[in-house]
Structure 1
């Protein structure tokens, strides 16, 4: 016991470790969740109430909600036509790119209007979802309950409709499917059929013109007789040959012009009808040229020429590879080189075609119409100009040839015209024949996979889903309510909550004291009513400290804020130690507002401040200033005159000597400190003793303030022994009750802790006389 204490950082044995050891974000999150779960557990009655109410509301909703049924059908959509521009693209990729378009068509106004026309022919039950709605809202009503989705990596589209009746759902799905199939047949039949009528009219006109020219040719032959064309030595005059050449060129230009006119008419008709223009672009490639189509898609002619060159080289390399494999092995350098060249060429062509496909897919319908019309009109304009030029040159050459060769030239010209008209007529016949052949089937085929069928069990409301949502909603609202209540009511509601959140034990719970007003020792509960139930709390506190497993000869006490009753707790604990036969010393280290000095009415008596500011030997000064407390075995060292610099005095080595002297002369040393949040004195003293107790008044102290007080003590290395709830009522069935206290600080923070000298005289005591101070024996 003679060892002198030193300033040291005591490592607390209890929790609040997060205040000392750095924690990562995950650990802090886990601690926050655990803390919130404890709060939810303490207020579980609110959560249970919210869950019950939510369940009742969910049950009411399930009972009163209208039943909704669903019917589903599956359709297989396949593309049978060939896309010239996408010739190197895999068929599945082409179909996958078009599936989203086919899905959107189900909710289009055209398809839904066709479905409504079919529903009007069905029984009234099939239109139960449209009852009471104006006619112009029917399409919106169907669209709101209709959904179409494509199955991943398949060409199957599932169509789903929700209705008040299962039979109505089946009828609507069946009507939509029929309308959709009819729309696809009308709009996806080969678009070349639209050109047939135009080509047929042109063919009839050319046939009549051809017949007239043939009659003219026969008349000329009869008039001039047989012209010299026998054998292979026939010589034709250059002028006649030029006429023939111009005539052939004119024939080709006219053929191209007629095809362009027919295509232009078909495109304009498709634009007016709102048909798909992709097939038109495919059909126009031979007419306007692949270069122009590629330019319309933003691809340069050089890129197209490069691809054509690569394709030619690819064919040559494949032929060389087939020849080389006949006499060279697969590992031969020449064979490997050819294989690499072929692989690179194929990859280049595929990348080019993929680029073409992306650009083609990126062109919207509203963009494609003017682009197609522009390309055809531009090509047609150039063809007209070329035809006019050739016509002029042909007329001039024809006149010269006629003048030169007279009837012979005229006959040759007529024969050329007949040949030209015959070629045009044959071309038109071939074109019409091809169109008729392609128009036998559409590019897109739609077939039913699963017939429309409705489930007799409603899809909404579902009992399991309603129950789960009610439970989740009740828990969510309950937890939110608990969180708000926890923010509003920022107090400790039970000893368990106090222990769990502070992480230190609850040493004892002190009830509200009812001692009548006497000064000095007569105002101490344990002294005047040792057998009362209120006094038992201090004996419990003494026992808890004795069996804590720590050497707690020097104990300090503090609180988070004034008026928490720490001085009352300390003095009654000191009396319980004295009654147990231990020589006990009370030291008033509250040099700012010495509550212990006021309790024993020893104001103006020399005390601790004199010792700390003096120059004499500490033991001798302590012996002179020890006062008897009026209880056997209990002495007190009062504050003395209030110093202007309390912290500097408490950090001086003389205070260490005071504690060392007290430790050698008393069995138990109890020190009263200022509140933690008011000054740092408590932390300074706490580092010099074996431990410090924190007094909490649950009905008064805010939780966050108490937590900050404990955090401040632990952050400075003070051994926080535990907490002592003070002024606890016994009327709350396990929760803290009212205030009910006896003595404590009677002021707040408004004027600053310990700053007003005159406040000492304002503190009223319940005594009429003071205990006369005496020296300790």
Structure 2
């Protein structure tokens, strides 16, 4: 069976959101696992908070509020003011509370008070009392209001009220002293300003009258509807000059056209209509020998003809052709048409006569005469316009000066009126202050302290303890990067977790006596291997040729492969287990076959594979289970395993056995496991979570994925009975498992055997229908699940 399923690896991409949730869940499990660090951190933080609460001085606070109004604020300056000016003055009154002049007044008043009222000043020298008072006092004003809020902190509520009352009283006295009856001084200043304004106003009026007389001002301004006569005259002359220029240009163009027509003997009659608007219709009719009134008569006759035709059309709808009205109308229409025809005939005759050399000179004489008059008129208009233009420009300068003086005069008059209004308003309140301060709420202190706040301290201590504890747990997790739970193992590697094997007792025997499922078939540890067998059988893919390896030496791959082979044989499947670890053959050592020929002899031999295999395969003593030991250690194990003879060996074993299990070297120790795993149906990776680091296991999985080996899943080995590090029964997985054998160690220990760690105390819940043997009766072992037998397996008699 050479086809392989696509490799699965922990490096497969996963959605970012899923990874984030997974990381959070992992960190929550990590916090639960190291919860004692959190408890210790929060306990220390709570102890520090309790010590602070018991030793920190109690601080009390008194509050008050004052209202500041500026009844005479408009007398402060000599310009127009708005409400925004009053709002801008509130910060000044707010900061005034913190100035030494006010605080010193409060300290003078406190000098007569009992000693407990000055409790806040006991530790400070006398010159530092103002600073202490400023530090304890807080002043704030609400936006767009005249209300100032005061608060004072003290070591006793009575002291807080007394000191704040002294500050308010000192502030009131300062305001009263500095803002009472100042209106007399304001009036004097305003009267001086008024006299200066009146002198400037008189000088401006005299200057305005002088400019008006010099400019000949008629009272007309640029903003009025009537324009100054000088300006209007310049405008009219300019318009007339432009019209004459247009007329002269038109005459020049007409004269040129007539001369060109005379030189080319063209028809000049078409120019008659062109020059008629220029020389006049009467002059043209007189020159042609026609009465100018004939043209009007002809026009009247044409109108009568049109009216007669319309009237005749209407009469014909009602009367016959011999009707008197029809006859009369037709005769009148005929007379008018004859008159019009005679008139037109006379005009054509006169034009024919003019064509004989008289029309050209006549038209030129008309045009030249008209052109001479136009040019003379144009020159006169231009001269007059230039004079008017100079006068208008001079007038504009005088008008601008006049406008400036008028604006200054208006400003001075407005200022004069404002000063008079200010003086009158201040005179009305000579005996009143312009700033008023009213106490809205008298100083009062709460009976309870405002600091320290027990609830806030508790929350801060809890947050600090939780944060520090979580940080310590995170640092410990960075230092120790082992897998902490089955979920973490599956999530980070991206492969299924096939089984979990408990920490098995240390073995000193060899052969079948060292096989857990043979010596203790009813134990919980043995049931874990049967569960692994069932999981592999129903994985959905054929796994008749299975490689068992690990990430590092000592992880328990020999223990898993030997016990898995034993449970397969116990299920009635002919099983062959091959020790392919040609470097440190743990399986061969387990069955005490180190000095016997085996796999290395078959791979180095040139004889036929099948006879050699039948000769070298050994019985283990368990029905249905045979073993092919390692044989002598070769110098080139990787080259031997990658050769064709190993593939022939696997083909022979597939024809003779139902299940083939190959014990391979660790993945990170040599490339042998990758070579063997690629030629088999699947690879099982044995991991020891308490021992292996994540980066080592991840590199092992990536190495198998790189050669496209079918990594079936992970077997977690040597898990303690308790829910330590997230494994064991606390997570509800299977039957637990154990650790068994390894390479030979000093003292004659069996391969891969290590000292067994003592089981953690604690309750052992029922998992998978089987109870732990710690003093509790075990349920009856469930029957082994039947394993499917692949069709077409070839059996050949040995």
| Superposed pair shares fold, TM > 0.5 | yes
In the other structure, the counterpart of 1:131 is 122
In the other structure, the counterpart of 1:572 is 563
CA contact (8 A) 2:26 2:488 kept: no
1:743 aligns with 2:741: yes
In the other structure, the counterpart of 1:376 is none
In the other structure, the counterpart of 1:36 is 27
1:588 aligns with 2:595: no
User: Secondary structure of 2:667's partner?
Assistant: coil
Relative to structure 1, the CA distance from residue 52 to residue 432 in structure 2 (aligned partners, 3 Å threshold; closer, same or farther) is closer
Q: CA deviation at 1:140?
A: 2.9
CA contact (8 A) 1:511 1:537 kept: no
1:542-593 deviation line (CA, Å, top 9, x unaligned): 3444455654433332323212221122112212221222111223343444
- 1-structure distance, mates of 2:174, 2:678: 90
- 2-structure distance, mates of 1:677, 1:695: 12
CA contact (8 A) 2:575 2:624 kept: yes
1:101-128 deviation line (CA, Å, top 9, x unaligned): 6555444433333332233234444322
User: Secondary structure of 1:176's partner?
Assistant: helix
User: Secondary structure of 2:501's partner?
Assistant: coil
- 2-structure distance, mates of 1:83, 1:607: 118
- 2-structure distance, mates of 1:729, 1:667: 33
- 1-structure distance, mates of 2:224, 2:606: 115
- 2-structure distance, mates of 1:554, 1:88: 104
1:516 aligns with 2:508: yes
In the other structure, the counterpart of 2:13 is 21
What runs of 5+ residues in structure 2 fail to find an aligned partner?
201-220, 226-415, 729-736, 752-795
Relative to structure 1, the CA distance from residue 699 to residue 31 in structure 2 (aligned partners, 3 Å threshold; closer, same or farther) is closer
1:75-117 deviation line (CA, Å, top 9, x unaligned): 4456664699998997448836x66665554444333333322
- 1-structure distance, mates of 2:138, 2:157: 16
Pick one of 474, 479, 491 that aligns with 1:483.
Answer: 474
In the other structure, the counterpart of 2:544 is 553
In the other structure, the counterpart of 2:451 is 460
Pick one of 7, 11, 23 that aligns with 1:10.
Answer: 7
In the other structure, the counterpart of 2:683 is 692
Relative to structure 1, the CA distance from residue 655 to residue 592 in structure 2 (aligned partners, 3 Å threshold; closer, same or farther) is same
Normalised by the length of structure 2, the TM-score is 0.54
- 1-structure distance, mates of 2:86, 2:644: 91
Relative to structure 1, the CA distance from residue 74 to residue 729 in structure 2 (aligned partners, 3 Å threshold; closer, same or farther) is same
Q: CA deviation at 1:36?
A: 1.3
Q: CA deviation at 1:180?
A: 3.9
In the other structure, the counterpart of 1:95 is 87
- 2-structure distance, mates of 1:196, 1:83: 9
1:469-524 deviation line (CA, Å, top 9, x unaligned): 33323322332343344445555566677667767436132323333243x44543
CA contact (8 A) 1:81 1:442 kept: no
Normalised by the length of structure 1, the TM-score is 0.55
1:290-315 deviation line (CA, Å, top 9, x unaligned): xxxxxxxxxxxxxxxxxxxxxxxxxx
- 2-structure distance, mates of 1:5, 1:697: 30
Relative to structure 1, the CA distance from residue 62 to residue 619 in structure 2 (aligned partners, 3 Å threshold; closer, same or farther) is same
Larger gyration radius, structure 1 or structure 2: 2
1:233-262 deviation line (CA, Å, top 9, x unaligned): xxxxxxxxxxxxxxx9xx99xxxxxxxxxx
Note the aligned Cα RMSD (angstroms): 5.4
- 1-structure distance, mates of 2:136, 2:707: 67
In the other structure, the counterpart of 1:110 is 101
- 2-structure distance, mates of 1:101, 1:638: 100
How many residues were matched structurally? 534
Matches within 5 A, 1:709-724: 709-710=700-701, 720-724=711-715
1:140 aligns with 2:136: no
User: Secondary structure of 1:726's partner?
Assistant: strand
- 1-structure distance, mates of 2:80, 2:606: 105
Q: CA deviation at 1:37?
A: 0.9
User: Secondary structure of 1:162's partner?
Assistant: strand
1:174-200 deviation line (CA, Å, top 9, x unaligned): 333333455556678899988999999
CA contact (8 A) 2:66 2:147 kept: yes
Q: CA deviation at 1:698?
A: 4.2
Relative to structure 1, the CA distance from residue 492 to residue 89 in structure 2 (aligned partners, 3 Å threshold; closer, same or farther) is farther
- 2-structure distance, mates of 1:614, 1:190: 128
- 2-structure distance, mates of 1:646, 1:776: 31
User: Secondary structure of 1:509's partner?
Assistant: strand
- 2-structure distance, mates of 1:709, 1:551: 23
